[in-house]
Structure 1
Amino acid sequence: MELPRVGYHSGKKVFTDEQEKELTEYLMKAADAFYGLCPREVKELAYQLAVKHGCKYPKSWDKFSRAGPDWFSAYMKRNPTLSIRSAEATSLARATSFNQHNVAMFFKKFDEVLKRHTLTANDIWNIDETGITTVQTPDRVIAKRGTKQVGAMTSAERGSLVTLACAVNAIGNTIPPMFVFPRIRYADHFVRDGPVGSIGSGNKSGWMQETEFLIFLKHFANHTKVSNEKKVILLMDNHSSHLSIAAIDFCKSNGIVMLTFPPHCSHKLQPLDRSVYGPLKKMVNSASDSWMRMNPGKTMTIYEIPGLVRTALPAAATPKNIQAGFQCCGIWPYNPNIFEDSDFAPSQVTDRPYGHFSS
C-alpha cells in the first residue's frame, strides 16, 4: 500500500531533464546574441515546447497560451546558471560590426605597425573623448521609510555638455586633458580650476571637431616629445574629426602613426572606454552631487566642470585601471585571441564586415 505524502513537495515536472537543458542552452545563446527573452516570453516558449513535445502540463496554461508563474519560479531555481538581468541598450551597428573579420583585420594592422616601428608599451597611446554634463544623476540618499517620493536637487531639467579629451598609454601614463566648451569665444580662465596642464577650446556645439582635434594633437606631441626618430602609435575611433587632412599631415610630420578602430567597435577595443571613462563618469556624478549640496540655491555651469574633473580624473585614470583597459582589449600585452566566440555572438545575426579603416 502506497503511503500518502505529507508536508511540502515539488510538483510534477513538465519537461524532462534533457528538454530543460536544451531550453536553458537556448536562452543563454539568445542572451549572448543580445536577443535575450524576458520572463513572459520564456513562459510562452515553454508552453509552445510543451505542446510540441506532447508534455503533460496544467490546463491553466491554455488560457493565456503560456506557462504559469509557479513553473517559471521552479524552473529558475532548478537552473541557477540563469538570472533575470537588466539589459544594456546596444545599437545594431555596434552589435553587428564587432565581428571576427573586423577584429582580425585590426589586430593584423596593429601587429604590422608594432613590428615596422619596433614599438613598446610606452609608445602605444589611446585617445578618446567623452561628454561631461552639468546635470548629474543624484546618488542614493537616506530618507524616512515609507516616503513615496524622495527628491534631489539638480541644476536644470537639461544640462549643458562639455567634451573631455584624454590620452593614455599602455604603461599607465596620461597627459593633461583637453576641454571643448560650447562657446564660440574661448578664454583661458575656463580651465583655471581644471587638472594641472589641461587646455581648452570652444565651438558652437561643444563637440570635438577638426580644428579642436588638431589643437589636441599639438598638445599631445608637446607632452610626449614624439618625433620621427621616436615614433608612437595613436589608437582612436574613426570619427571624421580625427581624419582631417590637417590632422593626418601633422601626424606624419611628427612621427605619430594613426590607427583607427573598426567602425562601432570602440566599446570593446578602446582601453579608455573599457576601464577609465566608466569610473570617471561615476566619480564626476558624485562630485556634482556634492557640489550641489555645498552650493544650495546655485546653478552649476559649464565652468565648474574642469574643477570636478580635477577631483575625479586622478582617481579614475590610475595606472592600474589604464593597464587593465589595454589588457582586456588585447592591445598590450598583445593578444589577438583575447575575445571568445561568445563575444562575437551578436554579430552572427548579420555577419557583415566593414573592411575599411585607416592606418
Structure 2
Amino acid sequence: MPRQWKRKTDRGVPANVLKVASDEVTGKGKSVRSVAKAHGICHVTLSRYCKSLQKLRDQGSSDLPSVGYRSNNKVFSEVQEKNLADYLTQAADLYYGLTPREVRKFAFQLAVTYNITHPQIWNENQMAGPDWFTFFMKRNPSLSMRSAEATSLTRATSFNRTNVERFFNSLGRVIERYKFDGSDIWNVDETGVTTVQTPERVVARRGVKQVGAMTSGERGVLVSVACAVQALGNAIPPFFVFPRKRYKEYFVQNGPTGSAGSGNASGWMQEEDFLLFLNHFAKHTKVSPEKKVLLLMDNHSSHLSVKAIDFCKEKGIVLLTFPPHCSHKLQPLDCSVYGPFKKMVNTASDAWMKMNPAKTMTIYDIPNIVKTALSAATPKNIRAGFQTTGIWPFNPDIFEECDYAPSQVTDRPDPGTSLKSGAFQPHSPPIHLGTASSPPTNQVTSGSSAIHDATMSCAPAEPATSGLSPGQVFSPSALRPFPKAGPRKTSSGTRRKRQSEILTDTPVKQALMEEEQRRGSKNVRKSILGKNKGRQKKKERTPQRKTTKKILKTNAEDSETSDDENLCVICLEAFGNSKPKEVWVKCAQCSLWAHQACTPGLPAFICHHCDSD
C-alpha cells in the first residue's frame, strides 16, 4: 500500500445527510426510496444506515453508526491512540521521553497486554512496524520528533514551584520596598570563552567521510567573561578574568571600550575578582545610596562574601540570588543572550583562524573576539530574556505546569504529615520507567500520574471487538508507570543548602559572617593539625642507620684536628695506622674518609650510609 494514499473519487455520503434522511424515515414514516431520491443518495445505503441505527438504539447506545471509508488494518482505536499520544507527551514533559524504537516496543506490549488484534510480524520482531509508527505520527500531529537537550538531574528537580515562588516573593518584596522599575533591575552572570572554538558547518566534497576545520589547539585556555544587562535592554562593558596571577591593563586593550579585568591562577571568578567587578559595575551604572539598583545573580561561592555585601550596601546595590540550579529558566542572560553570544564567538574565532593562518590563538586575542561577538547582545534579546523569565514586566505566573513537570519525579510528601497518616510508605520500592513486568491494574497511581490516570479512567469504554474485557480500561500508564523517586535518604552532612535570598538584608549577611568565621577557624585547625602530623611523620621516617652515620660524623668533628683520629668509614681503621703511600678518598656527600682499597674504585665515592639513604 502506498504511504501517501490519495482518494480518487468523491463518492460517499456525509454522516449529517444520512442522519437527516434517517430521521425522516423513522420519525415521519416516509419510505426509504422516496427519502433517498429526495436527498440524492442510494436507497440501499440509507436502508443499511437505518438498520444499524436501530440496532444501536436497541442496545441502549446513543452513538451513531460509522460511515465512510475507514482503515481495515488499524490496530488501536482513535481513543486508544489519543491516550497513547497523551502518555508520550507527558513522558517527554517529565524529561523521560521515549525514542521511536521504544514507542514501537511499547505499542506491541499494549497490544499483547490488552489482547488487541495486531499483525503477525509484530510477534516476530517484538515491536510494532516502522509503517505503523509513521502513520501514528501523522494521525497525531501534536507529536513530533525532537532532539532532547541534555539537562542535569539537579536542574530538572530544583526548578520546582516551591523554589520559584520563593524567588518571585523575594523579587516582588524588593521591587515594592525600593520602588524599582525596569531601569533599576540588572542581571550579572559569567561565561567561559576558550581559545579552541567549535567549528561551524562548511561546504565540502560529497562522499568524504571526514571533513576537518582548523582550530588553535586540542585543548583551549579559558577566560571568564562577566556581563551585566539591564531590563530595558542596556548593558555595561564586560569584565574579563584571565588565568594569570598578575593582571596587566594591556590584556583588554583590544576588547570592548570601557572593559576591565583581573587575573588569578584558575581563570574562574573568585571573591576578589567579583569585588573588582562590583567596582566596575558601580562605575558604569552611577549607583548611589539615593538611587539604588537591584542586581540579580546566582548562588556561586565567589558571590557570597561579606566584603562584597558590605561594598554593595555602601554603594546602594541590592543583591538578590536565584534558587540553586535554576538559572537555565530564571536568568535572563542564560535564556536569551549567551546562546547567540556563543554562536557569534565560534563564528568570530573561525574568522580569526582564517585571517591568521599558522598562528595560535592566545588568551590576549579573546577580548577582540568578544568585542565582535557582543553584537548578539542586542536590546531586543536582552528585553526578551527579562520578559520570558517573568522578572520584568513582573509576572510570577509566567511558568505553566508543564515547566514544573520534571521536578514531579522527585516530589515527596512532607515527612511530618504523611508518615502519620500512613499515606506514604518509606520502604516502598521506587517505580522506574521500564518494561512491563506486572499486569496492568485500574488503580490510580500516586504522584505525577494521578491526574493522568484519573483522566484515563473517565475515558469511554472500548468496543467489544478491541479485545478489552467488559470494565477494563486502556491505560498506558498502568502498563508502564511514570518514573517516581523513592523516599529521601537521611544524610548526616552539615553542608548548608542555598536558596534564593536577599543578600543585603541584615539577617542573611549575619549568617554569612558566621559561616565564614566557622570556615576560617576550621581551616586554621586543619593547618595546625597538618603541621603537627607532618612533623610526627618526619620523626618516624628517620632510620637507625642515619643515626649511625651522624654519630660517626659527630665523633669526627668533635675529635682533634689531627689526621690520626680519622677512621675509615668502612673498616674503621685509624688513619695513623695506614701503610705508607696508601690512598684515602672522601665521601662526596657526608665528607667521611675511607681507604681507596675498601671502596669499589668508582670515580666519585659515596659511602654505604649515604648510598642506602
What is the 5 A alignment of 1:227-238? Answer: 227-238=288-299
Matched, 1:59 2:89: no
Residue 261 of structure 1: aligned partner: 322
Residue 4 of structure 1: aligned partner: none
For 1:250-298, what per-residue CA distance to the aligned partner results, in whole angstroms no more than 9, with x for missing partners? 1111111100000001110001111111110000100001111111111
C-alpha contact 2:170 2:501 (8 A) present in aligned 1 = no
1:95 to 131, 144, 156: 156
Query: Displacement, 1:80?
Result: 2.1
| Count of residues in correspondence between the two structures | 352
Matched, 1:357 2:500: yes
Matched, 1:336 2:479: no
Amino acid at match of 1:24: A
C-alpha contact 2:161 2:404 (8 A) present in aligned 1 = yes
Give the match's secondary structure for 1:165.
strand
Amino acid at match of 1:291: W
For 1:24-63, what per-residue CA distance to the aligned partner results, in whole angstroms no more than 9, with x for missing partners? 0110111111110011111111011111221111122223
What is the 5 A alignment of 1:311-322? Answer: 311-313=372-374, 315-322=375-382
2 CA distance for matches of 1:298 and 1:82?
48
TM-score of the aligned structures, taking structure 1 as reference length = 0.95
Amino acid at match of 2:360: T
For 1:141-199, what per-residue CA distance to the aligned partner results, in whole angstroms no more than 9, with x for missing partners? 11122222211111111111110000011111111110111111211111111000000
Matched, 1:176 2:319: no
What is the 5 A alignment of 1:39-54? Answer: 39-54=100-115
Any unmatched runs of 5+ in structure 2?
7-70, 415-496, 503-613
Taking a change above 3 Å as real, the CA distance of residues 291 and 178 of structure 1, as seen in their structure-2 partners, is: same
Residue 174 of structure 2: aligned partner: 113
For 1:115-137, what per-residue CA distance to the aligned partner results, in whole angstroms no more than 9, with x for missing partners? 11111111001000001111111
Give the match's secondary structure for 1:47.
helix
2 CA distance for matches of 1:298 and 1:65?
57
1:217 to 264, 271, 278: 278
Residue 219 of structure 2: aligned partner: 158
Query: Displacement, 1:68?
Result: 1.6
2 CA distance for matches of 1:176 and 1:11?
67
Matched, 1:289 2:367: no
Taking a change above 3 Å as real, the CA distance of residues 60 and 287 of structure 1, as seen in their structure-2 partners, is: same
1:326 to 381, 386, 402: 386
Any unmatched runs of 5+ in structure 1?
1-6
Query: Displacement, 1:228?
Result: 1.1
Matched, 1:310 2:374: no
Amino acid at match of 1:329: T
Moved more, 258-267 or 342-351: 342-351
Q: Greater CA radius of gyration, 1 or 2?
A: 2
C-alpha contact 2:194 2:222 (8 A) present in aligned 1 = yes
2 CA distance for matches of 1:103 and 1:162?
31
2 CA distance for matches of 1:305 and 1:252?
33
C-alpha contact 2:166 2:500 (8 A) present in aligned 1 = no
Query: Displacement, 1:11?
Result: 5.8
Give the match's secondary structure for 2:111.
helix
Moved more, 80-89 or 323-332: 80-89
Query: Displacement, 1:356?
Result: 2.9
Residue 203 of structure 1: aligned partner: 264
Query: Displacement, 1:8?
Result: 6.1
Residue 301 of structure 1: aligned partner: 362
C-alpha contact 1:131 1:161 (8 A) present in aligned 2 = yes
Over the matched positions of the two proteins, sequence identity in percent amounts to 67
2:208 to 147, 167, 170: 147
1 CA distance for matches of 2:227 and 2:410?
34
C-alpha contact 1:125 1:234 (8 A) present in aligned 2 = yes
Residue 250 of structure 2: aligned partner: 189
C-alpha contact 2:324 2:498 (8 A) present in aligned 1 = no
Q: Which 4+ residue blocks in structure 1 deviate beyond 4 angstroms?
A: 7-11, 352-355
Give the match's secondary structure for 1:60.
helix
Taking a change above 3 Å as real, the CA distance of residues 11 and 204 of structure 1, as seen in their structure-2 partners, is: farther
2 CA distance for matches of 1:87 and 1:355?
29
1:249 to 310, 313, 321: 310
C-alpha contact 1:105 1:355 (8 A) present in aligned 2 = no
Amino acid at match of 1:98: F
1 CA distance for matches of 2:399 and 2:225?
29
